[in-house]
Amino acid sequence: MYSRFAEKKGWRLTELFRSENEIGGVRTISTEIKGTKAYRLLRHESGVHRVQRVPITEAGGRIHTSTATVAVLPKLEKVEIDIHPDDLEWEFFRSGGKGGQNVNKVSTAVRLTHKPTGIIVECQEERFQGKNREKALEMLRSRLYTEMQEQQVKSITELRSGQIGTGMRNEKIRTYNYPQNRVTDHRVNKSWHNIGIIMDGEIGGILEYLNNELK
């Protein structure tokens, strides 16, 4: 849905990290989107998105419910977050994604953990480990800055680590109901129909409505 919307807007979307489960489904995916008003339009998408559907393999016609958690983070340009090197734990592993032979043979992918808060970011976009280290640190700064804003604190040491990853991002904000051909945003108590078109990236109207209603 988001990649198709970005394509329609003419935005640049770059996949930074992907991990899949045993059956080929996506467990985690991180992307970077660059384009005019990208963050302004997408900022209210953070939260839990619930999907209700009847799988093809469901002989009894029962509705199955699954969820996806979305986090939208701004890219920091001028704000500096002072991160102590001793608070960082680096792990390096082979990438399973695109990038050619070098990516898959050398431990270029990076997993970075901020020990005081437990925040983890991963990056495998670049073919070289050093570049992925830089990107991971940039992503961590954005995560920490966003958490500081949400918790209304002025320093990393004031962050309440027990609340990292909770709050708005873990509340159910929207339901995609396939049997009823309906998408409902629970924050504004409004529904839109024709779910197929919405999942194909036609979400501009929804995003504009939310930007007008949610401050």
Question: How many domains does one find in the chain?
Answer: 1
With cut-offs at 50, 70 and 90, classify the pLDDT of residue 101.
Answer: very low
174 assigned to some structural domain: no
Tell me the pLDDT tens digit for each residue of 38-83.
999 999 998 899 999 998 888 888 999 999 988 888 877 666 788 8
Reduced 3-state DSSP string for 117-141: CCEEEEECCCCCHHHHHHHHHHHHH
How confident is the model at residue 100, as a pLDDT? 41
What is the rounded CA–CA span in Å between residue 6 and residue 204? 10
Tell me the pLDDT tens digit for each residue of 108-154.
889 999 998 888 999 988 778 888 998 899 889 888 888 888 777 77
117 assigned to some structural domain: yes
DSSP letter, residue 65? E
102 assigned to some structural domain: yes
Provide the domain limits for residue 133.
85-163
Q: Which two tokens stand for residue 81?
A: 């977050």
Does residue 26 contact residue 36 with C-beta atoms inside 8 Å? no
Contacts of residue 15, defined as CB under 8 A and 6 or more positions apart, other chains included, come to 29, 30, 31, 97, 98, 125
CATH code of 96's domain: 3.30.160.20
110 assigned to some structural domain: yes
Tell me the pLDDT tens digit for each residue of 157-207.
777 765 555 444 457 899 999 999 999 999 999 999 999 999 999 999 999
pTM above 0.75, yes or no: no
How confident is the model at residue 79, as a pLDDT? 65
Task: Indicate the helix (H) or strand (E) that contains 19.
Answer: strand 12-20
